[in-house]
Structure 1
Amino acid sequence: MTVLRFLALGAAVGALVALTTVPASAHAMLQSATPADGAVLDAPPSEVTLDFNEPVVAALGAVRVYNSDEARVDRGEVRGGEDGTVLRVPLARDAGEGTHVVTWRVASGDGHPVNGAFVFSVGSEGTADGTFIAQLLAGGDDTGLQAAAAALRWLLYAAVLLAGGGLAFLVLVHDRRKDERARLVRVVTVASVVGAVTTLLGVGVQGALVTGLGAGSFLNPQVFGEVAGSTYGASAAVRLAGLALLVVAAAGLWRPWATITGLVGAFLALGSFVLTGHTATTEPRWVAVGANLAHTLAAGAWFGGLILLLLALRRRKLSDDAVGGGRLVARFSAMATLAVVAVSVAGGALAWTQVRAVRALTSSAYGWTLLVKVALVGAILAVAGYNRSRLVPAIAGSGRGVTGGPDAPSAAWGTLRSTVRTEIVAIGAVLLVTAVLVNLVPARTAAGVTGIFSTTVPMGEDMLNVTVDPNRAGVNEFHLYLLSPTGQPVDVAGDLTVQLSQPALGIAPIEREPSVAGPGHWTFAGPELAIPGRWTVEVSAPVDRFSDAAASFGLDVNP
């Protein structure tokens, strides 16, 4: 597989990701706002306050407030609290009466962009254009940018793993054969350059997503500065430094200074991924960072080494150097074995930090996507095990005059090249799944394993959002929001009813009528969820004199 073919494959797979990816899910959550969603005030507030469940980064234009005349009434500045979880936005004195729409867009602690919107009214609900309000509440269409971000992530992972792992192969495995050195070094150099370009493009896309200013903000210095100050920017800076060292080192291999510089560059480039993403906000931090770092370094050695091994074997097959090929395969097999063990152990630890409970695997998009990744890795390990146990010994026997049999060197050579290609393609598929996985809400969060539970389910023609805090056995606080398809609060014709039951333990439905906290907003608190386990929650409300709307979902209460 030549470099150009690999890049062509990258473009094709990137296009596939762009066509199949879904918009990113939120990581930080808006816990409360003042004024509250759907509130009706007697007088205009002096500011809007947003309270998140974790520190967030407010980028350029992070919070905007529009009145019924579709004019912005915020002062264009965002003030953050000391711990980074609270944002305050001063409003103009002439904000006016009627319906106001607050739209916000921030970067969560793990670097992922998060956005949302809500409404409040002053005096009485205004008569703003419904289409305009719907567009603001939808938060803009980021589908194209999200797809571009996912495709760039795939190409970035592939390029950096090839550059860092390829350098490790050249230093630790390759025998410095002159007629193939230049080609292998060129692969590492090209991969490093592709990784650097992709990193810079990723910074631009991240800025567009965080600020909501679209592709036109790619060259905006202020937007670039916003991204540079985040965990995403720190990760990109370290990666660019590592890739630059790889390019310099590749030009001087195998001199002592170049060897050291190259290994340092590979460590920085591959290790940069732990500085942002889920790892940045996962506890215990040392487990998450350590597992992610080991996982990434090992994956690079495996993936980059495989590609360079395939190129080297093709050259040696053409020159009929069975002895040299056998020795090269044996040396790589030793490094690959360590990499496989590290990938498996570190991957298991990393999965635990993001899942925490078996139920989270089958109750979240993250869990199902992780299972797909595990299945792919399992298939790759089976192929790698066959290579090591059957093909590598046969090829290593090339220099000892071994002939005949189904595993004879001549037959094993062709089979090994095919299985190595299979491994490379399969690892590419794993990277594709990873490019989607890293932008999903961790399973532990989505399933409420480690904190507040939140879900949104259909209820008639509307959507019901429910949060349960702290989602542990004992006293819990429920908040229920009923929203129209455009995101506006929905009132019902009578009382909203909540029934809580745990069929497995024979606990019959416990019925509660939440109190009204605002338009389309109900709340109640109590010890109903005193027993941990799987509860069934059923919500119903009359939509008119003759019919009800209902919704139900499962709730796993933590001990």
Structure 2
Amino acid sequence: MIGHRPLRATASLFLALVLLLLGTSRPAHAHANLVRTDPAEGAVLQSAPSRILFTFDEPVRAVPDGVQIFDPQGDPVAAGTTATGSELAVALTERPLEGTIVITWRVVSEDGHPISGALTFSVGAPSTPGIATPPSFSNTVPEVPWVLTLARWLGYAGLLLAAGLVVFTAVFLPAGPGTGRARHRAATLTRAAVALAAVAWTAALPITAVYLLGGGPELLGEGSTWSSLPPAEYAVVAVVVAGLAAAAGLGTSPGSRRRRVAAVAAATAAVIAPALTGHTRAAGPEALVVGADALHLLAGSVWLGGLAGLALTLPALSGHGAAAARTLTRFSATAAAVLVALIATGSLLAWRILGSWSALAGTGYGRLLLAKIALVLAALAIAAWNRWSLLPRVAATKSADRRTSARPVVRATAIEGSILVAALLITGFLVDTSPEAAPARPAAVTSPGTRTTTLGDIAVEATLTPLSRGPNTITLKLRSASGEPAEGVAPPVVRLSSERAPLGAVPLTQVSAGFYTAQVTIPAPGTWRMQVSLRVTQFTNPVGELEFVIAG
């Protein structure tokens, strides 16, 4: 078993590394944000442009039919789209009528989540009295369907359990007489976990494609739906399924050392493949974060698979005290290092994705992460009790009585594993939850066209006039607690949306310190929400939501 000194040395090394990295890192971005458009929002052009350019703050990917253009009559205008890096170019293939043009767009961020919005500009002169709004639009950040979250949870549970059991069987379970029943139990559960992972990861592909396109199951019959997924998504699923199948075939029965090494290698490849997609791709430095995510998955797999393996095999080894003792000793010696790696990489990932300690309580992602941490701490407490209290009792018991004395170990191990499965459920939600802060509650109305909110220590006063369909003016005033003009560490960002038409980010022009203005064309009456975000510190970016009622 591992001693106190090596454990403390390993923990100190990991802690020093994490503190060094955290002290020199910057927070990660979540979804991509629209930085500017050409033409600008609300612009009036003499003639229709041949190309419209959207620029984001991180690379984006176009999806089939993700951009739709409507002329002043509400009729679609043909166009082609190309995404290159952080730019989305829209080439008009036909000349629209003069008047106000509405463009709705939908792209996929680097972290794999879709975002959408709209742009309005006019050719010749704005339409009077207004333009017809297209029938329906998606929200700016569409909600993830529950069936996708379920598929991902089942996929991760099957993946980590299957790979961990392969490692347990190949590394920790000794070969020799008396272990056949234990190996059979482990092999049966491994095959079931492989089947679960294969079905769940494969099923997640079409669900993800439909989610990215913002449609329904009817889209599955179209070839463009399947091409909307990046090749990396298909590659990850292929590696997961093939890797687990190979690992289960090689590692669930006694074999040569080379066979066991090949099984562990295949299981490792399957486990680290998902680290190549998701929120970690939007964090930086990418190599560090992806590597930490891969190590985090590996550590979790070894822990979960080891617990399941112990719970299954210890009863079968109860009549073979030497084999049971070797199994417990081998896993116990590795478990300490695994837990250190799990905690260190989890801390690093939380910092890089969230960006601040306040985000733990201030975002949905952070609160889910706190719940996961609580479960992991509970599992750690049981593991410590198992390691330092129960196992020594078993070791000190005579061989004839070990079957009875091992029962508390088996029960504690089963409880610990159940807690980890619950933590995996939260992981399924984390994969599909944005790390960005949720908008603040709508502020109270101070006058028909003015709303106020507070972002950090800065008071924000937003005015929208004349509150009617068509051209409107936005003014934004930022004030400190003393009433002086204030600024954040970056300019504010304003987004407008309604249930039918998200206009997205509105380009602001700074008039003076703490004073911004913008022109925007609102295409339809009703309740419109203005989201104002301001990075008040390097790590804090609060968001306030204001509501305005637009007359017809």
Q: Same fold (TM over 0.5)?
A: yes
Per the alignment, residue 451 of structure 1 pairs with none
Partner amino acid, structure 2, of 1:340: L
Per the alignment, residue 558 of structure 1 pairs with 538
Question: Per the alignment, do residues 120 and 288 of structure 1 end up closer, same or farther by CA in structure 2, a change over 3 Å counting?
Answer: same
Whole-angstrom distance in 2 between the partners of 1:285 and 1:480: 37
Whole-angstrom distance in 2 between the partners of 1:330 and 1:313: 12
Q: Does 1:359 align with 2:358?
A: yes
| Equivalent pair of 2:236/2:273 in contact (CA under 8 Å) | yes
Return the offset for 1:265.
Answer: 0.9
Partner amino acid, structure 2, of 1:524: Q
Question: Per the alignment, do residues 47 and 336 of structure 1 end up closer, same or farther by CA in structure 2, a change over 3 Å counting?
Answer: same
Return the offset for 1:115.
Answer: 2.5
Whole-angstrom distance in 1 between the partners of 2:170 and 2:204: 30
Q: Does 1:347 align with 2:308?
A: no
CA deviation map 1:22-63 (0-9, x unaligned): xxx961111122333344445433332211111111122222
| Equivalent pair of 2:71/2:96 in contact (CA under 8 Å) | yes
Residue among 157, 165, 182 paired with 1:180:
182
SS at match of 1:557: coil
| Equivalent pair of 1:117/1:139 in contact (CA under 8 Å) | no
Per the alignment, residue 211 of structure 1 pairs with 213
Residue among 73, 77, 84 paired with 1:73:
77
| Equivalent pair of 2:321/2:399 in contact (CA under 8 Å) | no
Per the alignment, residue 7 of structure 2 pairs with none
SS at match of 1:344: helix
Q: Does 1:499 align with 2:502?
A: no
- 1:51-450 matches, cutoff 5 A: 51-75=55-79, 77-81=80-84, 84-122=85-123, 123-125=125-127, 128-130=131-133, 132-133=134-135, 135-136=136-137, 138=139, 143=143, 146-176=145-175, 177-218=179-220, 220-229=222-231, 231-250=232-251, 253-316=254-317, 320-321=319-320, 324-399=323-398, 412-442=405-435, 446=436
| Equivalent pair of 1:118/1:488 in contact (CA under 8 Å) | no
| Equivalent pair of 2:36/2:56 in contact (CA under 8 Å) | yes
Return the offset for 1:456.
Answer: 7.0
Return the offset for 1:465.
Answer: 12
Question: Per the alignment, do residues 322 and 463 of structure 1 end up closer, same or farther by CA in structure 2, a change over 3 Å counting?
Answer: farther
Partner amino acid, structure 1, of 2:77: V
Partner amino acid, structure 2, of 1:556: V
Question: Per the alignment, do residues 101 and 497 of structure 1 end up closer, same or farther by CA in structure 2, a change over 3 Å counting?
Answer: closer
Whole-angstrom distance in 2 between the partners of 1:415 and 1:159: 26
Whole-angstrom distance in 2 between the partners of 1:419 and 1:261: 31
Question: Per the alignment, do residues 528 and 480 of structure 1 end up closer, same or farther by CA in structure 2, a change over 3 Å counting?
Answer: closer
- Would you say how many aligned residue pairs link Structure 1 and Structure 2? 476
Whole-angstrom distance in 2 between the partners of 1:93 and 1:196: 46
Whole-angstrom distance in 1 between the partners of 2:58 and 2:413: 44
Residue among 510, 517, 524 paired with 2:510:
524
Whole-angstrom distance in 1 between the partners of 2:404 and 2:452: 61
Whole-angstrom distance in 2 between the partners of 1:432 and 1:481: 43
Deviates more, 1:87-96 or 1:409-418: 409-418
CA deviation map 1:352-371 (0-9, x unaligned): 22234323333333222222
| Equivalent pair of 2:486/2:513 in contact (CA under 8 Å) | no
Per the alignment, residue 53 of structure 2 pairs with 49
Return the offset for 1:104.
Answer: 1.9
Whole-angstrom distance in 2 between the partners of 1:523 and 1:484: 19
Return the offset for 1:138.
Answer: 3.6
Whole-angstrom distance in 1 between the partners of 2:228 and 2:513: 44
SS at match of 2:304: helix
Residue among 436, 442, 447 paired with 1:458:
442
Return the offset for 1:412.
Answer: 4.7
TM-score between the two structures when normalised by the length of structure 1: 0.73
Question: Per the alignment, do residues 396 and 365 of structure 1 end up closer, same or farther by CA in structure 2, a change over 3 Å counting?
Answer: same
Question: Per the alignment, do residues 146 and 33 of structure 1 end up closer, same or farther by CA in structure 2, a change over 3 Å counting?
Answer: farther
Per the alignment, residue 533 of structure 1 pairs with none
Deviates more, 1:48-57 or 1:103-112: 103-112
Return the offset for 1:421.
Answer: 2.2
Return the offset for 1:179.
Answer: 1.9
Whole-angstrom distance in 1 between the partners of 2:205 and 2:268: 21
Whole-angstrom distance in 2 between the partners of 1:419 and 1:517: 51
Which gives a bigger RCO, structure 1 or 2 (Cα 8 Å, sep 6+)? Answer: 2
Whole-angstrom distance in 1 between the partners of 2:271 and 2:465: 44
Whole-angstrom distance in 2 between the partners of 1:281 and 1:184: 37
Partner amino acid, structure 1, of 2:81: V
Per the alignment, residue 16 of structure 1 pairs with none
Residue among 484, 496, 521 paired with 1:509:
484
| Equivalent pair of 1:287/1:349 in contact (CA under 8 Å) | no
Per the alignment, residue 11 of structure 1 pairs with none
Question: Per the alignment, do residues 497 and 184 of structure 1 end up closer, same or farther by CA in structure 2, a change over 3 Å counting?
Answer: closer
Whole-angstrom distance in 2 between the partners of 1:118 and 1:96: 16
Question: Per the alignment, do residues 112 and 33 of structure 1 end up closer, same or farther by CA in structure 2, a change over 3 Å counting?
Answer: same
CA deviation map 1:376-411 (0-9, x unaligned): 21111111111101111112223457x7xxxxx677
Return the offset for 1:189.
Answer: 2.1
| Equivalent pair of 1:323/1:396 in contact (CA under 8 Å) | no
Whole-angstrom distance in 2 between the partners of 1:526 and 1:457: 28
Return the offset for 1:321.
Answer: 4.9
Partner amino acid, structure 2, of 1:67: D
Per the alignment, residue 11 of structure 2 pairs with none
CA deviation map 1:440-474 (0-9, x unaligned): 333xxx47xxxxxx9676356899899x9xx9xxx
Whole-angstrom distance in 1 between the partners of 2:419 and 2:171: 24
Whole-angstrom distance in 2 between the partners of 1:337 and 1:299: 12
Return the offset for 1:269.
Answer: 0.7
Whole-angstrom distance in 1 between the partners of 2:282 and 2:531: 33
Per the alignment, residue 17 of structure 1 pairs with none
Whole-angstrom distance in 1 between the partners of 2:30 and 2:264: 36
TM-score between the two structures when normalised by the length of structure 2: 0.74
Return the offset for 1:243.
Answer: 2.2
Question: Per the alignment, do residues 457 and 51 of structure 1 end up closer, same or farther by CA in structure 2, a change over 3 Å counting?
Answer: farther
